[in-house]
Chains A and B, each alone.
Chain A
Amino acid sequence: MNKNGSKKSIVIIGNGISGTTLARHIRKNSSYAITIISYESPYFFSRTALMYVYMGQLPFSDTEPYEPQFWRDNSITLLQQRVTQILLDKKQLLLDDSRLFSYDILVLATGSKPNLLGWPGQNLKAVQGLYHKQDLEKLEEWTPSIQSAVIVGGGLIGIELAEMLHSRGKKVHFLIRESHFWNSILPNEETKLVTQHILDKGIELHLNTELKSIASDAEERAKGVYTKEDLFIPCQWVGLSVGVSPNIAFAKKSGLEANKGILVNKYLETNQKGIYAIGDCAELMEPQQGRSPIEAIWYTGRMMGETLAQTITGKRTPYTPGPWFNSAKFFDIEFQIYGQVSASPHKQKERHIFWKHNSKNRTIRISYNPNTLCFLGCMTLGVRFRHAYFDTVLRENKSMDFVITTLEESFFDPEFYPTYKKEILMLWELEKSNLIL
């Protein structure tokens, strides 16, 4: 590497959204030599689309946002290898095949891995999480021999797994520790609505239920699970989806400072000069107010990649994401959030107005500050809102009155869908009159 001595050599470990975005933006601003090393797949693919591949909606190749030619055209070198160690003093990487690879600048974008909480039986056959492409291939192998499946953990990947197996005609037992689906994020009405929808889909939902252990058959394959109440649920496959954590074992071992993730300052710099971490694997030492130190989501990876590219190409830039936004889909129900909408808000600091369609799975929740009457955020089920609109009103700290009267602009559903601005306006007038009383 770096033979002609003129080009800085940037090495990125991980070809996910963070590593790829970083590489693309470095290329836009510079002619540095860029290499991406990643073991999972030869090309960047969209992890978020794995479920659609399993459901037969997409061929795997359609999850790759760029054609192979793209990497050649942009002279980004791709290497499908696993990095086993970072030799900090030599500025070299040790690869799986014992090769050494030099770098001038190193970026860790190694993503996450599924959590395992030490359950008895978690290493049996047909017990797995869903994160990597290989997990999907494993699941595909087990699929013909599954009649019923148990999924543990009521988060976003859990509900995707439920939909996936359901779509292939499997009986699905969905074990959720909480009283309703995702109720740490979704307020009461929403969590009830989504929980009902899961039931309507024909999922066997076990609320307030925790996994105790996984039982094995004679071939070391899972044959069922025991819950903490000692209920036995027979099954041929167990999906573990109780969250993810940073995939950084090799980096920790090599001497990078780490907690749960690789520790970085707001410039995404690690404790070693010339080494950075972005995306799921990075843990911010000083996250923005109201944000968590590790955000294992697509958008964070993308924005960290964009930001670090500025720094690496000469413009040192702190990571300052704009107002919070996120989205998901629970079977047929789309979910969007902009700004701050807490599941159980502190009444003195955050209040909500809430609207629900009388027959369809559509809700709108708008939160505001009762002291300043400023708009704080909104959350919808089954209704699409316009990101640009909320990004602006949140950055400009607009009042509720402003937002409610201009809400028309924010509806993003296709043409001929109703908008609900009148209903929201009425709710807000009512709320205001109550506030005064």
Chain B
Amino acid sequence: MIKTQKNIGLAFGLLGLVILSLNIMYSFENVPLFFSLCFLSMTLGGILYFNALYGATLSGIHNNGVWFNALTAKGLWGWILGLVLTSFYIAIYWFPELLGYRTETASVGLVAFFDPLSVLLNGKLATQWFMYGTLYTFAILLFGIKFIWKYRSNPYQIFRTLSVVFFQLCFAFLLPELLSKLNPEMPYFSKDIKNMWPLNYYFFDAWHLEGMLNGKSIGQFFLIFGLLMIFVISPLLTYRFGKRWYCSWVCGCGGLAETAGDPFRQLSSKKISVWKLERWMIHFVLVFVFITTIAVVWSFLGTQPELSLVTKERFILGVVVLLLLILLSLFIKHKNGFPKDAKYTLISVVSILLASIGLHYFSGQQNIFFFETYTFQKWYGFGIGAAFSGVLGVGFYPLLGSRVWCRFGCPMAALLGLQQRLFSRFRITTNGGQCISCGNCSTYCEMGIDVRAYAQRGSNIVRSSCVGCGICSAVCPRGVLKLENGPLENRITNPTFPLGNTL
């Protein structure tokens, strides 16, 4: 019974996918009809399949058979899916013409399949990015349903998933399209309010700043709101809730990872060596994104003599003062010696500081440290934006887990993580001596945190990488983990013995 329902679900889902992929070779006459058929069929298939999985069972959370399944345990199907996804990303980023994208004429093939929807939403023909955005949002919606079904006994999971689905659908997908439709003359700038710097690494690029400045009241709203997000809203929310407010309640990358990526969360590596790598990577990304951003703003200011208030010199001076303040507070906080992770922070801040000063003396109008300004940006965009977040980040879901990008490459997660580690009310509390070291928490941590190492010692988990998805707590069979916000004092604990004994 359940098996047949699963198979029917799979058949419908595949039918949708086949209609979709046919577009690569063949153009449909009646696009709206087939487009609707395609998405309806995938939706129906999905829902039938999820119903077979969760509809008939009681409401507990189960991960039975995850490690027996070739798709979710890096078996053949995992590799095949990885290959397909990766190829898709490579095509979107570097060979969009393979998907039918044309610059000179109207697009054909897969991209053209999305034309009617695109015209409806933003008044223009589809680009490969519109196609991608639609599929992306659809995936979050469909697998969001699956996720909620699976974790339906846990209200925190429901809340969080509704939240990411809402932000993806409204703020990342619909709103920007509608805004462009209403203001067809407006220059391009990112209209996804929640996509803030440094995840949106080009926010401070000259063309983007100019786009916003010339974008009338809407553009200026986005500029001001963007700055507010970076300097006020985000630090406040991260202080209050930890970085989860962004990474697992709002962010689009997180949205996909939490929904479509959920079946692969257990594949993240928990090795200590990988944690070391993570720390190096994340600090490198952080230093890099700060230096490039300071550099582009610096050179942008050089081209804007009319902004007499903010000159290049004053800007660099401001940056230096700010960094010195951060250094000072670090020293005050750790006057009795630096723990290891604070050392990483220290090194990072100092390198940004030195680079900013160096920048001022060793760069000209068109070059940064003797590189052409835009070469710098281009390579960054390639390295971080495309190769990492897309190809590796999503393409490798079935091989490296769902949060590779968030863990090793995302500058936003890095920045929020730093704050979470140093200045936030968030922590995961472990429940005294109740841990039985079973390992479910660590296995199902998508960020590769060895949660058990903390739980079995009875110490709180305060880790910069934790995105607060709450799955460790959800899968714990002994009620040991709880995500909490509380006072900063005694947030980081390291008891010699877990609770229970009298020593």
Residues in A lying within 8 Å of B, measured CB to CB:
17, 28, 46, 48-49, 52, 55-59, 62-65, 67, 69, 167, 200-201, 298-299, 302-303, 306-307, 310, 317, 320-322, 325, 327-329, 331-332, 334, 336, 384-388, 391, 412-417
Contact = CB atoms under 8 A, between A and B. Distances in A.
A121 B153 CA distance: 43
B155 interface: yes
A306 B496 CA distance: 10
Interface in B96-144: none
A307 B478 CA distance: 24
B184 interface: no
Given A321-B500, A387-B431, A334 B439 contact: no
Contact of A391 (B66, B156, B452, B499): B499
B453 interface: yes
B245 to A, nearest CB: 13
Contacts of A332: 58-60, 153
A417 B155 CA distance: 6
Interface stretch (B174-182, B402-410, B469-477): B469-477
Contact of A303 (B153, B154, B443, B501): B501
Interface string B461-503: 0000000001001100111001100000000000011111111
B499 A322 contact: yes
A299 B458 CA distance: 12
A49 B503 contact: no
A321 B502 CA distance: 6
A387 to B, nearest CB: 3
A59 B483 CA distance: 26
B153, B158, B271, B501: most-surrounded residue (chain A CB, <10 A): B501
B211 interface: no
B433 A387 contact: yes
A386 B452 contact: no
A17 B68 CA distance: 28
A201 B56 CA distance: 11
The majority secondary structure among interface residues of chain B is loop
Given A52-B439, A325-B434, 19 more contacts: A17-B437, A49-B436, A56-B64, A56-B67, A57-B66, A58-B440, A59-B443, A62-B439, A65-B453, A167-B65, A303-B501, A310-B503, A325-B433, A329-B478, A331-B60, A336-B479, A387-B500, A414-B482, A414-B483
Contacts of A413: 479, 482
A57 B270 CA distance: 16
A56 B440 CA distance: 11
B59 to A, nearest CB: 7
B437 A65 contact: yes
B483 A307 contact: no
Contacts of B271: 67
B394 to A, nearest CB: 24
Nearest to B473: A414
A56 B263 CA distance: 13
14 contacts: A57-B67, A59-B73, A62-B270, A67-B271, A302-B500, A306-B501, A321-B502, A332-B60, A334-B478, A336-B434, A387-B499, A391-B432, A413-B479, A416-B156
Nearest to A201: B58
B159 interface: yes
A307 B503 CA distance: 7
B442 interface: yes
Contacts of A167: 62, 64-65
Interface in B414-462: 429, 431-434, 436-440, 442-443, 452-453, 456
B133 to A, nearest CB: 30
A69 B274 CA distance: 14
B63 interface: yes
B58 A200 contact: yes
A151 B255 CA distance: 43
Contact of B500 (A67, A200, A391): A391
B164 to A, nearest CB: 15
B272 interface: yes
Contacts of A325: 432-434, 500
A65 B456 contact: yes
A25 to B, nearest CB: 8
Contacts of A415: 155-156, 159, 470, 483
Contact of B497 (A64, A306, A329, A336): A306
Contacts of B68: 56
Given A327-B478, A387-B499, A46 B438 contact: yes
Contacts of A387: 431-434, 499-500
Nearest to B159: A416
Contacts of B159: 415-416
B431 A384 contact: yes
A412 B437 contact: no
B6 to A, nearest CB: 14
A332 B62 CA distance: 9
A361 B233 CA distance: 40
B502 A322 contact: yes
A318 to B, nearest CB: 9
Given A62-B439, A65-B453, A412 B431 contact: yes
Contacts of B429: 412
A298 B64 CA distance: 24
A64 B452 CA distance: 10
Contacts of B272: 67, 69
Contacts of A329: 477-478
A17 B498 CA distance: 14
Given A322-B499, A384-B479, A387-B434, A416 B64 contact: no
A-B pairs with lowest CB-CB distance, top 6: A387-B432, A332-B60, A384-B479, A416-B155, A49-B438, A56-B65
B501 A322 contact: yes
B500 A48 contact: no
Contacts of A64: 439
A327 B479 contact: yes
Contacts of A417: 155-156
A336 B478 CA distance: 8
A306 B497 CA distance: 8
B64 A57 contact: yes
Contacts of B474: 414
B482 A412 contact: yes
Contacts of A414: 154-156, 470, 473-474, 482-483
Given A65-B456, A332-B60, A414-B470, A386 B431 contact: yes
A55, A298, A412: most-surrounded residue (chain B CB, <10 A): A412
B351 to A, nearest CB: 30
B500 A303 contact: yes
A55 B67 CA distance: 9
Contacts of B503: 306-307, 310, 317
B67, B154, B434: most-surrounded residue (chain A CB, <10 A): B434
Contact of B433 (A299, A331, A334, A385): A299
